[in-house]
Amino acid sequence: MLSQRLQQKLLQKLTPQQIMLMKLLQVPTVQLDQRIKQELEENPALEDLSDSGEVAPSDNEFDDPMSSESTADNSRDTDDYDFNDYLDEDDVNSYKLQTNNYSDDDERKDVPISVETTFQDNLIEQFHLLGLDDKLFQIGLTLIGNLDDSGYLMRDVEAMVDDFAFSLNIETTKEEILSVLEMIQELDPAGIGARSLQECLLLQLKRKEEKTNTINLAIEILENHFENFSKRKYEKIIEKILITEEQLKGAINEVLHLNPKPGNSMDTSGKSSQYIMPDFFINNNNGVLELSLNNRNVPELRVSQTYADMLNTYSDTKHKTSQQKDAVMFIKQKIDSARWFIDAVKQRNTTLYITMEAIMKFQKEYFLEGDISKLKPMILKDIADMVGLDLSTISRVSNSKYAQTHFGTFLLRDFFASTMETESGEDVTNNEVKNYLIECVDNEDKTAPLNDDVLTDMLTKKGYKIARRTVAKYRELLGIPVGRLRKEIK
């Protein structure tokens, strides 16, 4: 049965300003510049002072643009700008929107377009030179198009027989497709068109001009003992082939010089360097820590005075047309949005600064000396209590932010560490345990690497109360493979 009733509810919702601030808190400095440029493009009421060539404003110059003080400080000549032109014209002839700023004597220069050649394009150029008939050529183009970014063909050949029949109306067989695939595998770079890592490495070895005993041994190992090779069970390989460790080491060195991803060898677009731009700078000035925000690429923003003047003008008009009312609403919306964004950027900087300042004070000894053992146990709640902010806010600030110190640049997350109690009752951080784990692995005998049980015993003797599963977890987080895969030959 349907019924109506009136009730009151108490809800807590975030305002648009708060949502904007939360999003800006997550943005690191390297992306903040792009976020500001995006806002400048979308909101004409927001201005970048560096573009206008004016002096950067002080903190009180971001006040209400409708106030008399703001109008007086930021006034500009707007005699050549009449907003009525946009209100009174309903239809604009197309010829009025066309411009030709070139004369017959001007030299016209076209901007070159950057074109990148993929390894598939290079393969197609080579494939054209084989002079195949239309059917085989179409099969080859399809195979090249199905290669992944690493240069592998991961499609099942038998399934591709049906694809050619239904999609391209080409009747073919598995043997015919494999014959075309072999032609592709003869193209450059070596190893292209392989269906597995084993086949990729073998293709490269067989393309070697000089077939030495070492290369022939490497081919035999990959063909007949690939599983033992991939799992580094070198003793079994030596036992089955009846070779010495020196011979095995030479064959392994040949394999290690091969390219497991031949497709990437021709991809110049993917070879870009990634630089870290710190969000904070911490300097040690004779035992005194100095903190500063990285605002080098953050422009000075203000509300456009032109839009503020227009809003004043149309607000004072007593009898407004419907177009003028819409214009007033549009201008007011853009100005409010600009003011919210400016306030959000300023509040973001303030929140970042007080949070990093609290972290710096909490870990003062660590920042002074750079010794990892001086890093005290610290969680998000510790900093949240110090600055009086919510845990989620501290989490957003510490996520994807970097701090540059005199001993390196680190993620803010690295300064947070949970506690672990030693046998003596002393609290240590898990970072200290991880560093000792790295030290144990670095100093181990690579011919007989330490397994997790031995590593656990070594950490226990050091005084750390730790379980074997925790050691395995830390090892995986540090990107250290299991002992069997760390094994090397003398």
Please give the pLDDT value at position 465: 82
Tell me whether the omega of the peptide bond preceding residue 278 falls within 30 degrees of 0, making it cis.
Answer: no
Tell me the whole-structure pTM to 2 decimals: 0.55
pLDDT band at 67 (very low <50, low <70, confident <90, very high): very low
Closest by CA to 117, choosing from 265, 268, 263, 262, is 268
Please give the pLDDT value at position 27: 84
Query: Has residue 138 got a pLDDT over 80?
Result: yes
Lowest mean per-residue pLDDT among 24-28, 151-155, 156-160, 204-208: 24-28
The values of phi and psi at residue 183, to 5°, are -65, -40
Please give the pLDDT value at position 230: 87
Please give the pLDDT value at position 266: 58
Query: Has residue 319 got a pLDDT over 70?
Result: yes
Lowest mean per-residue pLDDT among 64-73, 140-149, 472-481: 64-73
pLDDT, mean of residues 318-335 = 82
pLDDT, mean of residues 95-111 = 47
Residue 17 CA to residue 339 CA, distance in Å, equals: 10
| Residue ranges of domains in the chain, CATH in brackets | 119-266 (no CATH), 280-415 (no CATH), 419-486 (1.10.10.60)
Residue 377 CA to residue 174 CA, distance in Å, equals: 62
Over residues 221-275, the pLDDT tens digits come to: 999 999 988 888 888 999 999 999 889 999 999 998 999 999 886 554 444 445 7
pLDDT, mean of residues 353-359 = 94
Query: Has residue 65 got a pLDDT over 50?
Result: no
pLDDT, mean of residues 298-318 = 81
Query: Has residue 104 got a pLDDT over 70?
Result: no
Over residues 169-202, the pLDDT tens digits come to: 889 999 999 999 999 999 988 999 999 999 999 9
Portion of the chain with pLDDT greater than 70, in percent: 81
Query: Has residue 119 got a pLDDT over 50?
Result: yes
Please, what is the angle between helix 430-442 and helix 468-477, to 10°?
Answer: 80
Please give the pLDDT value at position 80: 44
Query: Has residue 82 got a pLDDT over 60?
Result: no
Higher per-residue confidence, 272 vs 286: 286
Please give the pLDDT value at position 86: 42
Instruction: Tell me the helix, strand and coil percentages in the chain, rounded to 5.
Output: 55, 10, 40
Please give the pLDDT value at position 305: 86
pLDDT, mean of residues 25-29 = 84
Residue 27 CA to residue 298 CA, distance in Å, equals: 12
Q: State the DSSP H helix or E strand holding residue 409, giving kind and residue range, or none if neither.
A: strand 408-411
Query: Has residue 298 got a pLDDT over 70?
Result: yes
What value does the mean pLDDT of the chain take? Answer: 80
Please give the pLDDT value at position 137: 92
pLDDT, mean of residues 40-46 = 88
pLDDT, mean of residues 2-24 = 81
Please give the pLDDT value at position 64: 41
Query: Has residue 4 got a pLDDT over 80?
Result: yes
Please give the pLDDT value at position 432: 78
Please, what is the angle between helix 322-362 and helix 16-26, to 10°?
Answer: 50
Please give the pLDDT value at position 198: 94
Sequence-distant (6+) residues with CB within 8 A of 161 are: 172, 173, 174, 177
Please give the pLDDT value at position 78: 40
Higher per-residue confidence, 115 vs 262: 262
Query: Has residue 219 got a pLDDT over 90?
Result: yes
pLDDT, mean of residues 127-144 = 92
The values of phi and psi at residue 230, to 5°, are -65, -30
Please give the pLDDT value at position 74: 42
pLDDT, mean of residues 148-165 = 89
Identity (one letter) of the amino acid at 407?
F
Please give the pLDDT value at position 116: 58
Higher per-residue confidence, 285 vs 105: 285
Higher per-residue confidence, 357 vs 49: 357
Tokens 């015919």 locate to 176
Secondary structure E strands in 268-314: 280-285, 288-293, 301-303
